[in-house]
Chain A
Amino acid sequence: MSVDLLTVKRVARLARIAVSEEDAERMTGELNAILGFVEQLNEVDVSGVEPMTSVTPMEMKKRQDVVTDGSKAADIVANAPATEENFFLVPKVVE
């Protein structure tokens, strides 16, 4: 399988990365080189093989459903580029 310029632009949109025409053209070549490389996986017979879900067999850790953390709003917003009263500020999203 290979990707064309239009697909690359669509994927960039999905990934929320702005690309110029020139970027998209370069990426098309690079992505096709990588997709060509991974193509060889198709020759592996995987009939009856389950997809891996965990490298080591381990039971999911569980704990009591209680509050163990919190009251640190100021810490959480401390690194944000724009905040007001412990809220993250973003451009207007609702018209």
Chain B
Amino acid sequence: MSDLTHLTISQARAKLRAKEITATEITEAYLYAIERANPALNAYVVVTDDKARDMAKASDAKLAKGEGGSLEGIPLGIKDLFGTEGIHTQACSHVLDGFKPHYESTVTANLWADGAVMLGKLNMDEFAMGSSNETSYYGPVVNPWRRSRLDTVVMPTTHQGDGGFVSAGGTRTARTLDNAQLVPGGSSGGSASAVSAFLCAGATATDTGGSIRQPAAFTGTVGIKPTYGRCSRWGIVAFASSLDQAGPIARDVRDAAILLKSMASVDPMDTTSVDRPVPDYEAAIGKPIKGMKIGIPREYRVDGMPEEIEALWQKGIAWLKDAGAEIVDISLPHTKYALPAYYIVAPAEASSNLARYDGVRYGLRVPGKDIVDMYERTRAAGLGREVKRRIMIGTYVLSAGYYDAYYLQAQKVRNLIKRDFENAFAAGVDVILTPATPSAAFGIADEDMAADPVKMYLNDIFTVTVNMAGLPGIAVPAGLDAKGLPLGLQLIGRPFDEETLFQTAHVIEQAAGTFQPEKWW
């Protein structure tokens, strides 16, 4: 039965429509896999078994009649940031204890309308603030990938019977899995871990500075952050409203295209939702990229970047060239300022968005001697260290006397970052190719990262520019490093040109193949 969990969404879709399998069978297979794996991986914070079974049953009734939507009977995991009616929605924060919204986010409502089945809510960094999924109130998520080392094994010479050689000795190499637990990246670490470990067919995720693409790269999965405005933000717990975008994490490029088509919509409930029809992203897959212009930004070659990342990038360039694309060197001169500008803009927006968690309307309340004392005690107890840190930075940069020096300066630099991209696209570049992350997955409780918050922030150095400019970006697995860990490449496109990203990412996927962790859990 566990085979069913290894089907991609497009494969499962075909089998469901052909009535070779039922939605109930595939849902049961996932529920069983989650039950077995979750104690080790901690990817789910809530499993909605009953709801999943009910939804699967309803899907089966439709499928039996030859009806059903584009995701009919496909079991998905939902990041805890998405409001789901009557179901645990806490952004993995203590301050939202017990919160069950009386509404459904637009993105998840779209998925259910298309027939998808909800398996449960996925772990994440608290309020989506983090790059390792270690800031969750529910504990860290574990990456299904582990480092491995290549050992040379000396084969013994063995004899069988009367001088008959079974093994003539000599040596061979074998991979041995290391026991060290690695992070899945963040903030959508639960989504990435669950997709990679076959605990859902696909997952929703959100990306404010790299929270879809970095965990996708760390787990050998595909993650796309669409253009700002493509997915409605309505019903999603807000972090930094001018940067937040929802998108899928999936096992391959086609599945990501299928999911985004369903998640994206035009929504009157979100004033920043863009008023243009959602294209059929899947149709872009398989189209040749001959003659396409691929920009290679020189500023993404950063100091201290491992050689393996550079080699991967060169491999990506070669694959696209082989497919007939034209490679051009480009310059995005303000790249290095994107991360510092982000660490003003995002905390500033977060400090106002998170002001609502005060113990009055929902979640945790810690009593105090007066109302201000109650607010302060509630927030002190309910918010984690990283969240407090960002609220403090945001409050400081927005406070009287500092607004111009920090916030206004950052928003001006943001315009320059956006202009860099506009210039490249105006010069005829169709898509930009970069590494997705400056390293492979690192260990849980990494001491360097814990000691210096800026070290952790550097994880998003290649992804954050895309949020600052509101552009679409996709991370696609491109290979394994020497320790056997997945590495990803990122493609950045013109606003609302997700189709070109799927088209190009598919070419990389065809050349690189797909990657699955060795099962140890």
Contact = CB atoms under 8 A, between A and B. Distances in A.
Interface in B95-145: 98-102
B377 A18 contact: yes
Interface centre among B371, B396, B402 (most CB of A within 10 A): B396
Contacts of A51: 408, 411-412, 414-415
B302 interface: no
Interface string A1-29: 10100011001111111110000000100
Contacts, number: 167
Please report whether the interface of chain A is mostly helix, strand, loop or mixed according to DSSP.
loop
B495 interface: yes
Interface string A52-95: 11111010110100000000100111111110000010111100
Given A34-B343, A93-B371, A41 B409 contact: yes
B510 interface: no
B452 interface: yes
Nearest to B389: A30
Interface residues of B, number: 74
Nearest to B469: A55
Contact of B344 (A41, A50, A77): A41
Nearest to A72: B102
Given A34-B343, A56-B274, A79-B99, A44 B416 contact: yes
A3 B396 contact: yes
| Residue of A17, A19, A75, A91 contacting most chain B CB atoms (<10 Å) | A17
Interface residues of A, number: 53
Contact of A38 (B275, B343, B368, B380): B343
Interface in B240-269: 242, 268
Contacts of B405: 1
B413 A56 contact: no
Interface in B192-242: 227-229, 242
A16 B336 CA distance: 33
Contact of A55 (B242, B340, B364, B368): B242
Interface of A: 1, 3, 7-8, 11-19, 27, 30-31, 33-35, 37-42, 44, 46, 49-56, 58, 60-61, 63, 72, 75-82, 88, 90-93
24 contacts: A1-B402, A13-B376, A14-B399, A16-B355, A17-B379, A17-B380, A27-B392, A30-B453, A35-B393, A37-B454, A46-B412, A51-B408, A51-B411, A52-B418, A55-B470, A56-B274, A58-B274, A61-B268, A81-B365, A82-B365, A88-B361, A91-B369, A91-B370, A92-B370
